[in-house]
Amino acid sequence: MGVIGLGLMGSSIVTSLVISGHQVVALAPIAADLEQAPGYLRRHLERAQSLDITDRSVDYYMDRITLTESYQDLKKCALVLECVIEDRHIKAAVYDKIESQVAEKTIIGTNTSAIPISSLQQYLKYPRRFMGIHWAEPAYATRFLEITCGAETDTELAREVSVLAENWNKEPTLLQKDIRGFITNRLMYAIYREALSIQENDGVSLRDLDKAARYDMGSWIPLMGIFQRLDYMGTQTEMKTIRALMSKLSNRTNLPETMEDIVRDEYRGIHNGKGHFNYSPKECEKWKEAFSRFNRDMYFLSEKYAEFKPSKKEEIKS
């Protein structure tokens, strides 16, 4: 496995791969990255160890990572992941260098969340082997992985990566078409659109909308997702209600005035203390720490309920 770009995300992905049993070539495209990388990797590995998701010592794993600046070291990789900054020209240059070294059948993935896969694919000499492989943070302690095909991606290869990813302790999703915003973002944005309308038109506070999402939706979504939830509730009746209410849902295309203020005034949430809510510097720190702890709790909780999923043959016509 090869990983290019060793920022926080890249080194977190290296950690996930190495603790899953792979040897990893970790390539720093800029010198500063190469300097920081050993520190980042050690910290991630120590954190993985504190989560009890590792079998061996930090040093053992460090030995299985080849830190390098040279693309030649990627030669034997079966899969190379690009995790450099969201700049299409920089990415294009990286793909050039990868393809000049690796075998024609080596799979190349990008961790981009901002640039459409089909549009990056045009920079590849062999575009069939290129796809989005999008991780959640921290890569070694989250179950989510989104695999996205571009227009020219070989979907069979995407399926292979999807199977491989199960060995990384992932629950990968496969998106055969390169839609704007990937899956989760689309679902999330649909909630936000509706929530913004309810807030603006129906006198419900942001705080109460958050409570509904957190304590109602949040009490079943991590176990069931959305369609299995309908099956739990009784499917037919629920589908009838959804059909009846669909035309009442928001189709808005603009943000409410108060949200435009947030955009204009550069509210960056816990990153500058101003957001939909306000946060003291201490609270900003507390939130970061809380999510890290919560993430750990949910990771193990999801393990406890891992058997509860539909088996391959049981999905109906979809």
Instruction: Give CA–CA dist 40/54, Å, rounded.
Output: 17
**Residue 230 sits in the site that holds its own copies (CB under 8 A):** yes
Is 104 or 253 the residue whose CB approaches its own copies more closely? 253
**Residue 60 sits in the site that holds its own copies (CB under 8 A):** no
**Residue 268 sits in the site that holds its own copies (CB under 8 A):** yes
Instruction: Give CA–CA dist 174/39, Å, rounded.
Output: 33
Is 58 or 204 the residue whose CB approaches its own copies more closely? 204
**Residue 249 sits in the site that holds its own copies (CB under 8 A):** yes
Cβ count near 299 (within 10 Å): 17
Among residues 237, 281, 285, 303, which is the contact residue for its own copies, using CB under 8 A?
A: 237
**Residue 174 sits in the site that holds its own copies (CB under 8 A):** yes
Instruction: Give CA–CA dist 20/26, Å, rounded.
Output: 15
**The token pair that represents 31 in the structure block:** 């010198």
Among residues 92, 103, 151, 239, which is the contact residue for its own copies, using CB under 8 A?
A: 239
Is 60 or 300 the residue whose CB approaches its own copies more closely? 300
| Interior/surface letters 266-277, b for 16+ CB within 10 angstroms, e for the rest | ebeebeebeeee
Query: Looking only at residues 297 through 316 of this chain, which bind its own copies when binding is defined by CB under 8 A?
Result: 297-299, 301-302, 304-305, 308-310, 314-316
Q: Select the span of 93-101, 103-111, 123-131, 267-275 touching its own copies (CB under 8 A).
A: 267-275
Tell me if 84 sits within 8 A of 29, measured CB to CB.
yes
**Residue 87 sits in the site that holds its own copies (CB under 8 A):** no
Q: What's the one-letter identity of residue 314?
A: E
Distance of CA 124 to the CA centre of its chain: 23
